[in-house]
Structure 1
Amino acid sequence: MRRSKVPAASCTDCHASTGEVDRILRAISITGALTDEQREGLTRIADRCPVHRSVHPAISVVTTLRATLDDQADAEPAQVD
């Protein structure tokens, strides 16, 4: 998890429109063979957790999923022409 300050004007999901707002960047690692739909569902659930919802509305929380070693090993090799 990282925290940074961003201009409020560049924050589309913040309530403030001037000055700077706090942005929390959180990356979640999930292991196992999951479909893209399952991963998106888990991201939505993470964004609706009570702790996330209790954060002040002027703070933007951005959630991303990290690729794990298991995901990389299971991935199809890229085709090269």
Structure 2
Amino acid sequence: MEQHRLISISKEISEQTVLKNELSSLKKGSRVYEQLGNSSIFFLSDQPKMISKCHQKLQKLRCEEDELKNSVKS
């Protein structure tokens, strides 16, 4: 079970890394939209805010990945 979760987290980390790189490569002032919740509606958002959210999620996922790796080794 933990191994499956570890694979899932690694995939999420890869996706978030790509997202962060894509957001960072956009020109300043580009329009960025965010999907909130499970709705099919997208809302205009702020590029630096989205990069920050992405970075925070990446940090959280990496911490969770490290915790799982340590628990698998034990």
TM-score, normalized by the shorter chain, greater than 0.5: no
More strand, by proportion: 1
Normalised TM-score (structure 2): 0.30
Structure having the higher Rg:
1
Normalised TM-score (structure 1): 0.28
